[in-house]
Structure 1
Amino acid sequence: MRTVLMCHAEDAFDREGLAAWLASFSDLAGLVVIEETGTQKQARVRRELQRVGPLRFLDVLAMRFYYRFRLAAADHAWMEASLAGLRARFGEVPAVPELRVSSANAPEVAEFLTGCKPDVMIARSKQLLSKRIFRIPKQGCLVMHPGICPEYRNAHGCFWALAERDLDKVGLTLLRIDTGVDTGPVHGYFTYAFDEANESHIRIQYRMVLENLDALAQRIRDIAAGTAKPLDVTGRPSGVWGQPWLSRYLRWKRAALDKQPVAAAE
């Protein structure tokens, strides 16, 4: 099975950890590394502002500041430890062809993928892929989406399921990319015994991948072999979500703490 990983340059979990994991059970044929420009990041900010409006966007910004100053340091330490564990288990990323681009849909991406001849591409990208790109791998491009689809599509599905107290829908969806936003055929749901009172939403969404690597690897093999059948999601509600809000984060954490059992008095 020949594979390609598409990921962002700043995400070491993907670029180092998942690349080594992918190479452990497949022929990793190449890496597409996205180095976004400031203009692209500003455009994403403008889209979120248009989507939620100026008042709610302040809630989004407040969550960003809160995360940066209250949560990021602990998550960074956890990520470093997790990467060390992945290196110990899978080794270093092998030397493979690498393409660095600012756009996942650049013409050179299509040329690179055609040369790599992948059966499957794992897309860990914030950018939507065009049909011209996602149709190149023989068995398609797969997304490990942090959220249960179709109920929690688009961004931060784990966060919103937690904030909505929809705890049975906190998980990861393995799906094949199509022309919509997380609307492609679903090939599996994965979760773990998350600790919502003590883990951040960012840590939970990364652990959804980390705790299910063996199961994900087997499902990807099945997809590449053409033996995996998509799940039927007919009739289920579909929701498109966005960036986390501080107001909903604080409400979620209060609910999670209230749910914890009280220790018996000695």
Structure 2
Amino acid sequence: MRTVLMCHAEDAFDRQGLAAWLASFSDLAGLILIEETGEQKRARVRRELKRVGPLRFLDVLAMRFYYRFRLAAADRAWMDESLAGLRARFGDVAGVPELRVSNGNAPEVATFLASCNADLMIARSKQLLSKRIFRIPRHGCLVMHPGICPEYRNAHGCFWALAERDLDRVGLTLLRIDAGVDTGPVYGYFTYAFDEASESHVRVQYRVVLENLDALAQRMRDIVDGVARPLDVAGRQSGVWGQPWLSRYLRWKRAALDKRPAEVAAE
């Protein structure tokens, strides 16, 4: 099985850790590294501002500041430790052809993908891909979406499931990209025994990948072998979510801490 990984260049968990994981069970034929421009990032901010309005956008900004100054250091330490564990388990990746672009839909991406002769591409990018890109690999492009679809589509599905107290839907969806936003065929759901009182939403959405690497690898093999079938999601509620709000984060954490004493007493 020949694979390609598309991810953001600054995300070491993906670029190094998941690349080594892919190389452990497939022929990793290429890396497409997204280096977004300042204008692209500003455009994403403008879209979120338009989506939620100016007052709610202040809630989004407050969450960004809170995360940076209260949570980010602990998550970076956890990420460094997790990445070291991935390297110890899978080694380092060397000699894999790389393409660096700012836009995952650039013409050179199509040329590079075709030259890789890939069966699958794993897309770990914030950018939506066009049909002329996601149709190039023989079995399409897969997303390990942080959220259970269709209920938690778009951004930060794990956060919103936690904030909504929908704890049975905190997890990851493996789906094939189509023309919509996380609307493609679903090939599996994955979760783990998360600790919502102590773990941040960012850690949860990375750890749900880390805790399910073997199962994800097998499901990808099944897709390429033609034995995996999409799950039936007809009739289920579909929701499109966005960036986390500080007000909802604080409410979630209060509920998680209130719940914990009862669980401890039950044990």
- What range is the shorter-chain TM-score in? over 0.9
Structure 2, unmatched stretches of 5+, are none
Tell me, in whole angstroms, the C-alpha distance in 2 between the residues paired with 1:103 and 1:224: 27
Equivalent residue pairs, number: 264
Partner of residue 61, structure 1: 61
Post-superposition offset of 1:93:
1.1
Partner of residue 10, structure 1: 10
Partner of residue 41, structure 1: 41
Q: Is the 1:60–1:245 contact (alpha carbons within 8 Å) kept by the matching residues of 2?
A: yes
Indicate the SS of the match to 1:189: strand
Tell me, in whole angstroms, the C-alpha distance in 2 between the residues paired with 1:49 and 1:59: 11
Indicate the SS of the match to 1:96: coil
Partner of residue 105, structure 1: 105
The correspondence of residues 1-266 of structure 1 with structure 2, limited to 5 A, is: 1-261=1-261
Structure 1, unmatched stretches of 5+, are none
Post-superposition offset of 1:95:
1.2
Q: Is the 1:188–1:231 contact (alpha carbons within 8 Å) kept by the matching residues of 2?
A: yes
- Report the TM-score when normalising by structure 2: 0.98
Indicate the SS of the match to 1:260: helix
Cα-to-partner distance string for 1:116-161 (whole Å, 9 max, x where unaligned): 0100000001000000000000000000000000000000000000
Post-superposition offset of 1:188:
0.1
Tell me, in whole angstroms, the C-alpha distance in 1 between the residues paired with 2:259 and 2:169: 17
Q: Is the 1:143–1:175 contact (alpha carbons within 8 Å) kept by the matching residues of 2?
A: yes
- Report the TM-score when normalising by structure 1: 0.98
Indicate the SS of the match to 1:187: strand
Tell me, in whole angstroms, the C-alpha distance in 2 between the residues paired with 1:66 and 1:12: 23
Post-superposition offset of 1:66:
0.0
User: Alignment identity in percent?
Assistant: 85
Q: What is the identity, as a one-letter code, of the residue corresponding to 1:82?
A: S
Post-superposition offset of 1:226:
1.5
Indicate the SS of the match to 1:261: helix
Tell me, in whole angstroms, the C-alpha distance in 1 between the residues paired with 2:225 and 2:33: 26
